[in-house]
Amino acid sequence: MPELPEVEYAAQRLKTAVLGHTLNRVRVLHPATAKYLTPAAVRALVGRRVDRIERRAKIQLVHLDDGSVLEVHFRMTGDWEFSTPGDEAPRFERVRLETQEGAVVSFVDSRALGVVRWHAPGEYILPPLGPEPLTEHFTVESLQRALASRRAPIKPVLLDQRVVSGVGNIYASEALWVAKINPNTIANTITKARLTRLRDAIREVLNAAGEARYYGTQQDPNNTSEARWRVYDREGEECIRCGSAIARIVQAARSTYFCRRCQKA
DNA sequence: TGTGCCCTGGTA
DNA sequence: TACCAGGGCACA
Protein backbone atom coordinates (compact mmCIF):
# COMPACT_ATOMS: atom_id res chain seq x y z
CA MET A 1 0.00 0.00 0.00
CA PRO A 2 1.70 3.19 -1.09
CA GLU A 3 1.86 5.73 1.69
CA LEU A 4 4.07 8.80 1.97
CA PRO A 5 7.51 7.10 1.82
CA GLU A 6 6.52 4.91 -1.11
CA VAL A 7 5.00 7.81 -3.04
CA GLU A 8 8.08 9.95 -2.37
CA TYR A 9 10.26 7.17 -3.76
CA ALA A 10 7.96 6.80 -6.78
CA ALA A 11 8.15 10.53 -7.52
CA GLN A 12 11.95 10.37 -7.37
CA ARG A 13 12.03 7.48 -9.82
CA LEU A 14 9.64 9.33 -12.14
CA LYS A 15 11.89 12.38 -12.03
CA THR A 16 14.92 10.33 -12.94
CA ALA A 17 13.05 8.74 -15.84
CA VAL A 18 11.29 11.66 -17.55
CA LEU A 19 12.20 15.08 -16.16
CA GLY A 20 12.83 17.34 -19.16
CA HIS A 21 11.36 14.81 -21.57
CA THR A 22 8.61 15.60 -24.08
CA LEU A 23 5.55 13.36 -24.22
CA ASN A 24 4.89 12.00 -27.67
CA ARG A 25 2.35 9.26 -26.94
CA VAL A 26 -0.17 8.75 -24.16
CA ARG A 27 -2.37 5.66 -23.99
CA VAL A 28 -5.21 4.98 -21.57
CA LEU A 29 -5.74 1.26 -21.18
CA HIS A 30 -8.50 0.79 -18.63
CA PRO A 31 -12.06 2.19 -18.52
CA ALA A 32 -11.76 3.17 -14.84
CA THR A 33 -8.67 5.25 -15.66
CA ALA A 34 -10.34 6.70 -18.75
CA LYS A 35 -12.96 8.24 -16.47
CA TYR A 36 -10.29 10.69 -15.31
CA LEU A 37 -8.00 10.88 -18.33
CA THR A 38 -10.28 11.80 -21.22
CA PRO A 39 -9.37 11.79 -24.94
CA ALA A 40 -9.18 15.59 -24.83
CA ALA A 41 -6.71 15.38 -21.94
CA VAL A 42 -4.62 12.87 -23.84
CA ARG A 43 -4.50 15.22 -26.84
CA ALA A 44 -3.48 18.09 -24.56
CA LEU A 45 -0.63 16.05 -23.06
CA VAL A 46 1.05 15.09 -26.32
CA GLY A 47 3.87 17.46 -27.18
CA ARG A 48 4.22 18.82 -23.65
CA ARG A 49 7.56 18.84 -21.83
CA VAL A 50 7.87 17.66 -18.22
CA ASP A 51 9.17 20.71 -16.35
CA ARG A 52 8.83 19.72 -12.71
CA ILE A 53 7.65 16.80 -10.59
CA GLU A 54 6.60 17.21 -6.98
CA ARG A 55 4.86 15.26 -4.25
CA ARG A 56 2.33 16.61 -1.76
CA ALA A 57 0.87 14.07 0.68
CA LYS A 58 0.27 10.99 -1.49
CA ILE A 59 -0.31 13.06 -4.64
CA GLN A 60 2.30 13.30 -7.39
CA LEU A 61 2.11 16.38 -9.59
CA VAL A 62 3.74 16.43 -13.00
CA HIS A 63 4.05 20.05 -14.09
CA LEU A 64 4.15 20.53 -17.87
CA ASP A 65 5.68 23.35 -19.87
CA ASP A 66 2.33 24.97 -20.70
CA GLY A 67 1.39 25.23 -17.02
CA SER A 68 -0.96 22.26 -17.10
CA VAL A 69 -0.63 19.56 -14.46
CA LEU A 70 -0.90 15.79 -14.50
CA GLU A 71 -2.15 14.68 -11.09
CA VAL A 72 -1.39 11.10 -10.06
CA HIS A 73 -2.70 9.23 -7.01
CA PHE A 74 -1.70 5.59 -6.52
CA ARG A 75 -4.52 4.87 -4.06
CA MET A 76 -4.22 1.18 -3.12
CA THR A 77 -2.14 -0.58 -5.71
CA GLY A 78 -0.77 1.98 -8.14
CA ASP A 79 2.90 2.23 -9.08
CA TRP A 80 5.25 3.24 -11.88
CA GLU A 81 7.06 0.79 -14.08
CA PHE A 82 9.76 1.93 -16.45
CA SER A 83 10.81 0.31 -19.69
CA THR A 84 11.88 1.10 -23.23
CA PRO A 85 9.93 0.99 -26.51
CA GLY A 86 9.52 -2.56 -27.72
CA ASP A 87 9.51 -4.09 -24.23
CA GLU A 88 6.51 -6.21 -23.33
CA ALA A 89 3.74 -4.21 -21.62
CA PRO A 90 3.78 -4.75 -17.86
CA ARG A 91 0.93 -6.57 -16.16
CA PHE A 92 -1.90 -4.27 -15.02
CA GLU A 93 -0.71 -1.37 -17.18
CA ARG A 94 -3.45 1.29 -17.04
CA VAL A 95 -1.75 4.33 -18.59
CA ARG A 96 1.33 4.38 -20.79
CA LEU A 97 3.41 7.51 -21.32
CA GLU A 98 6.08 7.52 -24.02
CA THR A 99 8.58 10.31 -24.51
CA GLN A 100 10.49 11.58 -27.55
CA GLU A 101 13.68 10.76 -25.66
CA GLY A 102 12.76 7.07 -25.57
CA ALA A 103 11.44 6.57 -22.06
CA VAL A 104 8.33 4.51 -21.41
CA VAL A 105 6.49 5.01 -18.12
CA SER A 106 3.61 2.72 -17.26
CA PHE A 107 1.10 3.49 -14.55
CA VAL A 108 0.32 -0.01 -13.27
CA ASP A 109 -2.59 -0.55 -10.90
CA SER A 110 -4.08 -4.00 -10.35
CA ARG A 111 -7.23 -2.77 -8.61
CA ALA A 112 -7.67 0.19 -10.93
CA LEU A 113 -8.60 2.56 -8.13
CA GLY A 114 -5.76 4.96 -8.87
CA VAL A 115 -6.20 8.36 -10.43
CA VAL A 116 -4.31 9.95 -13.32
CA ARG A 117 -5.95 13.25 -14.19
CA TRP A 118 -4.98 16.20 -16.35
CA HIS A 119 -5.69 19.78 -15.30
CA ALA A 120 -5.60 22.73 -17.70
CA PRO A 121 -3.16 25.56 -16.88
CA GLY A 122 -4.13 27.31 -13.66
CA GLU A 123 -6.95 24.91 -12.86
CA TYR A 124 -5.33 22.52 -10.42
CA ILE A 125 -6.08 23.18 -6.77
CA LEU A 126 -4.59 21.00 -4.05
CA PRO A 127 -7.14 19.51 -1.68
CA PRO A 128 -6.95 20.75 1.92
CA LEU A 129 -3.93 19.01 3.46
CA GLY A 130 -2.35 19.01 6.88
CA PRO A 131 1.38 19.52 7.35
CA GLU A 132 3.93 17.19 5.80
CA PRO A 133 4.91 14.95 8.72
CA LEU A 134 8.64 14.99 7.99
CA THR A 135 8.92 18.77 7.96
CA GLU A 136 9.22 21.33 10.75
CA HIS A 137 5.59 22.33 10.07
CA PHE A 138 4.38 19.16 11.78
CA THR A 139 4.52 20.25 15.40
CA VAL A 140 2.75 19.10 18.53
CA GLU A 141 0.83 22.38 18.46
CA SER A 142 -0.33 21.83 14.87
CA LEU A 143 -1.44 18.32 15.77
CA GLN A 144 -3.23 19.58 18.87
CA ARG A 145 -5.07 22.21 16.82
CA ALA A 146 -6.07 19.69 14.16
CA LEU A 147 -7.49 17.32 16.78
CA ALA A 148 -9.13 19.91 19.02
CA SER A 149 -12.61 19.48 17.53
CA ARG A 150 -12.35 15.79 16.68
CA ARG A 151 -14.41 13.51 18.88
CA ALA A 152 -13.82 10.36 16.83
CA PRO A 153 -11.30 7.62 17.69
CA ILE A 154 -7.74 8.71 16.92
CA LYS A 155 -6.95 5.97 14.39
CA PRO A 156 -9.47 6.95 11.68
CA VAL A 157 -8.78 10.64 12.41
CA LEU A 158 -5.11 10.08 11.56
CA LEU A 159 -6.18 8.90 8.10
CA ASP A 160 -7.78 12.28 7.47
CA GLN A 161 -5.25 14.04 5.23
CA ARG A 162 -6.24 17.41 6.71
CA VAL A 163 -4.78 16.35 10.06
CA VAL A 164 -1.42 15.20 8.77
CA SER A 165 -0.72 14.48 5.14
CA GLY A 166 0.52 11.19 3.78
CA VAL A 167 -0.32 8.79 6.63
CA GLY A 168 -2.34 5.75 5.57
CA ASN A 169 -3.88 2.76 7.26
CA ILE A 170 -0.70 0.75 7.84
CA TYR A 171 1.48 3.49 9.29
CA ALA A 172 -1.39 4.86 11.40
CA SER A 173 -1.57 1.49 13.22
CA GLU A 174 2.21 1.33 13.45
CA ALA A 175 2.59 4.86 14.83
CA LEU A 176 -0.09 4.34 17.49
CA TRP A 177 1.68 1.16 18.58
CA VAL A 178 5.01 2.98 18.84
CA ALA A 179 3.36 5.82 20.81
CA LYS A 180 1.52 3.27 23.04
CA ILE A 181 -1.84 4.92 22.34
CA ASN A 182 -5.01 2.87 22.01
CA PRO A 183 -6.59 3.43 18.56
CA ASN A 184 -10.02 3.90 20.17
CA THR A 185 -8.90 6.92 22.20
CA ILE A 186 -11.08 9.92 21.39
CA ALA A 187 -8.79 12.25 19.44
CA ASN A 188 -9.38 15.48 21.34
CA THR A 189 -8.87 13.86 24.75
CA ILE A 190 -5.23 12.94 24.15
CA THR A 191 -2.83 14.85 26.38
CA LYS A 192 -0.07 17.01 24.98
CA ALA A 193 2.56 14.64 26.33
CA ARG A 194 1.01 11.74 24.46
CA LEU A 195 0.57 13.85 21.31
CA THR A 196 4.29 14.54 21.46
CA ARG A 197 4.89 10.80 21.53
CA LEU A 198 2.46 10.37 18.64
CA ARG A 199 4.13 13.03 16.51
CA ASP A 200 7.52 11.47 17.14
CA ALA A 201 6.14 8.02 16.40
CA ILE A 202 4.65 9.11 13.06
CA ARG A 203 8.02 10.55 12.08
CA GLU A 204 9.90 7.49 13.23
CA VAL A 205 7.65 5.08 11.35
CA LEU A 206 7.73 7.11 8.12
CA ASN A 207 11.48 7.66 8.32
CA ALA A 208 12.13 3.98 8.91
CA ALA A 209 9.90 3.04 5.98
CA GLY A 210 11.63 5.57 3.73
CA GLU A 211 15.08 4.31 4.62
CA ALA A 212 14.12 0.68 4.15
CA ARG A 213 12.70 1.53 0.75
CA TYR A 214 15.79 3.37 -0.36
CA TYR A 215 18.48 1.20 1.09
CA GLY A 216 17.09 -2.26 1.63
CA THR A 217 13.82 -3.48 0.28
CA GLN A 218 14.50 -3.07 -3.40
CA GLN A 219 17.68 -5.09 -3.42
CA ASP A 220 16.92 -7.69 -0.77
CA PRO A 221 13.86 -9.83 -1.37
CA ASN A 222 14.03 -11.11 2.22
CA ASN A 223 13.74 -7.59 3.59
CA THR A 224 10.13 -7.07 2.59
CA SER A 225 8.11 -4.16 3.92
CA GLU A 226 5.82 -6.68 5.65
CA ALA A 227 8.77 -7.85 7.74
CA ARG A 228 9.12 -4.31 9.12
CA TRP A 229 5.52 -4.03 10.36
CA ARG A 230 5.31 -4.33 14.11
CA VAL A 231 1.52 -4.68 14.52
CA TYR A 232 -0.09 -4.32 11.13
CA ASP A 233 -1.39 -7.64 9.78
CA ARG A 234 -0.21 -9.49 12.90
CA GLU A 235 -3.56 -10.45 14.43
CA GLY A 236 -3.10 -13.17 17.07
CA GLU A 237 0.68 -12.92 17.03
CA GLU A 238 2.60 -11.89 20.14
CA CYS A 239 3.21 -8.18 20.66
CA ILE A 240 6.96 -7.79 20.21
CA ARG A 241 7.00 -5.39 23.18
CA CYS A 242 4.89 -7.15 25.83
CA GLY A 243 4.04 -10.58 24.44
CA SER A 244 0.27 -10.07 24.49
CA ALA A 245 -1.78 -11.12 21.46
CA ILE A 246 -2.21 -8.45 18.78
CA ALA A 247 -5.88 -7.60 18.25
CA ARG A 248 -7.64 -6.63 15.04
CA ILE A 249 -10.69 -4.36 15.02
CA VAL A 250 -12.48 -2.51 12.23
CA GLN A 251 -12.70 1.28 12.40
CA ALA A 252 -14.30 3.33 9.62
CA ALA A 253 -14.31 0.17 7.48
CA ARG A 254 -10.52 -0.22 7.81
CA SER A 255 -8.57 -2.82 9.78
CA THR A 256 -6.79 -1.57 12.86
CA TYR A 257 -4.16 -3.70 14.62
CA PHE A 258 -3.03 -2.97 18.16
CA CYS A 259 -1.93 -4.42 21.47
CA ARG A 260 -4.63 -4.25 24.13
CA ARG A 261 -2.09 -4.42 26.94
CA CYS A 262 0.52 -1.84 26.04
CA GLN A 263 -1.59 0.63 24.05
CA LYS A 264 -3.58 2.45 26.69
CA ALA A 265 -6.75 4.47 26.04
C1' DT B 1 -19.21 11.26 12.00
C1' DG B 2 -19.96 6.82 9.98
C1' DT B 3 -20.96 3.93 5.88
C1' DG B 4 -20.81 2.31 1.25
C1' DC B 5 -18.89 2.56 -3.23
C1' DC B 6 -15.42 2.14 -6.70
C1' DC B 7 -12.22 -1.93 -8.44
C1' DT B 8 -10.09 -6.68 -9.08
C1' DG B 9 -6.22 -9.94 -7.72
C1' DG B 10 -5.20 -12.97 -4.21
C1' DT B 11 -6.59 -16.09 -0.74
C1' DA B 12 -9.28 -19.16 2.10
C1' DT C 1 -16.40 -19.40 -5.46
C1' DA C 2 -17.01 -15.95 -2.08
C1' DC C 3 -14.80 -12.71 0.35
C1' DC C 4 -11.22 -9.43 1.70
C1' DA C 5 -8.03 -5.59 1.10
C1' DG C 6 -8.45 0.02 1.48
C1' DG C 7 -7.81 5.74 -0.23
C1' DG C 8 -10.76 9.04 -1.04
C1' DC C 9 -15.13 10.62 -1.93
C1' DA C 10 -20.34 11.08 -1.81
C1' DC C 11 -23.91 10.76 0.99
C1' DA C 12 -26.90 9.92 5.09
Angle between helices A169-178 and A192-212 (to 10 degrees): 120
Q: How many Å apart are A225 CA and B12 C1'?
A: 23
Calculate ∠ Cα A63-A69-A70, nearest 5°.
100
Q: Which nucleotides of B are covered by protein (CB under 7 A)?
A: 1-10
Which residues of A form the catalytic set?
A: 2-3, 58, 254
The pLDDT value given to residue A32: 87
Q: How many Å apart are A227 CA and C1 C1'?
A: 31
Q: How many Å apart are A31 CA and C4 C1'?
A: 23
User: Which residue gives the smallest C-alpha to C1' distance to C7?
Assistant: A75
End-to-end CA distance of chain A: 27
pLDDT per position as a tens digit, A17-35 = 999 999 999 999 988 888 8
Q: Which nucleotides of C are covered by protein (CB under 7 A)?
A: 5-9
The pLDDT value given to residue A35: 83
| d(C-alpha A173, C-alpha A108), whole Å | 27
pLDDT per position as a tens digit, A56-102 = 999 999 999 999 999 999 998 999 999 998 888 898 999 999 999 99
The pLDDT value given to residue A108: 94
pLDDT per position as a tens digit, A180-218 = 999 999 999 999 999 999 999 999 999 888 776 654 333
| d(C-alpha A92, C-alpha A110), whole Å | 5
| d(C-alpha A166, C-alpha A129), whole Å | 9
pLDDT per position as a tens digit, A147-170 = 998 989 999 999 999 999 999 999
Over pLDDT 90: what percentage of chain A? 73
| d(C-alpha A111, C-alpha A22), whole Å | 29
Q: What is the pTM of this model?
A: 0.92
The pLDDT value given to residue A215: 45
